[in-house]
Amino acid sequence: MNDITKKIITKLPILKKPRKITIAFIEYLKHPKKITYDSKVFFRKQKAQKIGISYFDPNFIYFNTFDKNSVVVDVGCGYEADFSKHIIYKYNAKVFAIDPTKKHRKFLKVIEEEAKGKFTHLQLAISSKNGKITFKETQDNESGSILNDHVNILKDKIKSYEVESMTLNNLPDKINSEIIDFLKLDIEGAEYELLAKVTKDNLKPFKQIFIEFHHNAIKSYSLSDTKTIVKSICEKGFNYFTLDDVNYLFYNLKYFKNNNISK
């Protein structure tokens, strides 16, 4: 092991305790590429902190500009809606959580009641189409998809049903807000067709957009497709930051004029 590798291993946060060092070292021996990935994320986190980007487990990044008047839209919130709850409890912001999954509804209803007006669940999908579309709910995992070649849809027991869908263009009117401080998109592969069709005007209402890309989970898309979408969004007045080349924060340069830094 060379000196650079030793330095990286000793600095990684997961390696602070002897037992964790042993477990991680074994993992790195089994999967040599993992140390490259972990070190990349670690050093990018240091850069993110320097330019004012906050991190919330497991993969969320954002500029900390929220207050009680902020409007956040959490698309693909999941049944726990962890990011939504984090934003509400830390910043007292208003969150609209969008998720079409029927089995998640009862859990999200509890969060609605506990949040006392700060959390609203909308049981619909965001996609490239307005109107009814078919959603495939997995019975074995949390995340379903509208795509047939999503890894969960290919291997899990599936329950299909129609859901209401809308494009980003109609989202501000749906939640009655001209400006949206933060949009999180975790739509299990539907982001590619959605964002391929999006215009500069469609993106104007959003100060920040966090997108989880699914080139690792969808057979018909690759990292090259993700890079194409990233470039397209940046051409519409945004810059970006990513820790892992999967989860991207896009920030509107109209609102973040002094943060022209990408990674």
Contact 202, 236 (CB under 8 A): no
At 263 the pLDDT is 62
Residues 128-140 as b/e (b if ≥16 CB within 10 A, e otherwise) read: bbeeebebbbbee
Provide the 3-class DSSP secondary structure of residue 157: coil
Residue ranges of E strands in the chain = 53-56, 60-63, 71-75, 94-98, 119-122, 125-126, 131-138, 158-166, 180-185, 206-212, 238-242, 247-252
How is residue 74 annotated by DSSP? E
* Residue 80 burial (CB count, 10 A): 13
Euclidean distance between CA atoms 42 and 62, whole angstroms: 16
pLDDT band for position 259 (50/70/90)?
A: low
The mean pLDDT value of the chain amounts to 90
pLDDT band for position 36 (50/70/90)?
A: confident
Residues 147-184 as b/e (b if ≥16 CB within 10 A, e otherwise) read: beebbbbeebebeeeebebbebeebbeeeeeeebbbbb
Residues 42-68 as b/e (b if ≥16 CB within 10 A, e otherwise) read: eebeeebeeeebeeeeebbbbbebbee
Euclidean distance between CA atoms 181 and 178, whole angstroms: 10
pLDDT tens by residue, 12-23 = 555 555 666 566
Alpha helix locations (H) across 92-146?
A: 105-115
Q: Is pLDDT larger for residue 27 or for residue 74?
A: 74
- Could you tell me which residues are beta bridge partners of residue 160? 136
Whether residue 6 is predicted with pLDDT greater than 60 in this model: the reply is no
Whether residue 177 is predicted with pLDDT greater than 90 in this model: the reply is yes
Euclidean distance between CA atoms 169 and 144, whole angstroms: 23
Provide the 3-class DSSP secondary structure of residue 75: strand
At 30 the pLDDT is 67
Euclidean distance between CA atoms 224 and 140, whole angstroms: 29
Euclidean distance between CA atoms 26 and 14, whole angstroms: 13
Whether residue 260 is predicted with pLDDT greater than 70 in this model: the reply is no
Q: Is pLDDT larger for residue 6 or for residue 164?
A: 164
Q: How many residues does the chain have?
A: 263
How is residue 13 annotated by DSSP? G
At 37 the pLDDT is 84
